[in-house]
Amino acid sequence: MPGMVGHSPLIGSYDQRWGARFVPSAGIYDVELRSKMLKLGQASDYRVHEGIYAMLAGPQYESTAEIDYLRLIGADIVGMSVSHEALVAHQMGIRVLAMALITNDLQDASKCGANLKSEDVLEAAEEAANRARTLILGLISQE
């Protein structure tokens, strides 16, 4: 939901070499890459699935009210990144695949927001990094 965070990476000076000025935000993620990554994940013992990623501007963590709203509209995960980068890559005609490492539980508001510590998020990300690296290298070897 990059359009709902109040700013866009496409605002500012425009260089036509980057691609169209106005690009659709639907269909950003490459279907073939998504399919390959899901198969790699399923072949491993990693928990890998597709879902709806909601992006908030940050750098603060999400509030309980934001979590409740995002759940209400169908979000599976929330983060502060990914969407802007994906939109710019899409604008430039680059095939896009997004991965998100889950570092805190959106379903349990008591574990988010005010109760969340950056150290815990970084620790969870470090623990998941090797699994992500394995999947990414597996995908690259297929390309």
Percent of the chain with pLDDT over 90: 36
Mean pLDDT, the chain, whole residue set: 85
Residue 11 counted as domain residue: no
Residue 129 counted as domain residue: yes
Contact 17, 11 (CB under 8 A): no
| pLDDT given at position 86 | 93
Reported confidence tier of residue 126, pLDDT bands at 50, 70, 90? confident
Reported confidence tier of residue 115, pLDDT bands at 50, 70, 90? low
Reported confidence tier of residue 128, pLDDT bands at 50, 70, 90? confident
Residue 125 counted as domain residue: yes
* 58 Cα distance to chain centroid: 14
Provide the residue range defining the domain that includes 102: 2-6+20-142
Whether the model pTM is above 0.85: no
How many independent structural domains does the chain possess? 1
Mean pLDDT of 103-124: 68
What confidence tens digit (pLDDT) does each residue in 34-57 have? 999 999 999 998 888 899 988 888
What confidence tens digit (pLDDT) does each residue in 43-95 have? 998 888 899 988 888 788 888 888 889 889 999 888 888 888 999 999 999 99
Closest listed residue to residue 92, CA positions, set 34, 7, 16, 12: 16
Residue 130 counted as domain residue: yes
Residue 13 counted as domain residue: no
CATH of the domain at 82: 3.40.50.1580
Reported confidence tier of residue 5, pLDDT bands at 50, 70, 90? low
Tokens 């998100």 correspond to what residue? Answer: 100
CA distance 106 to 11: 30
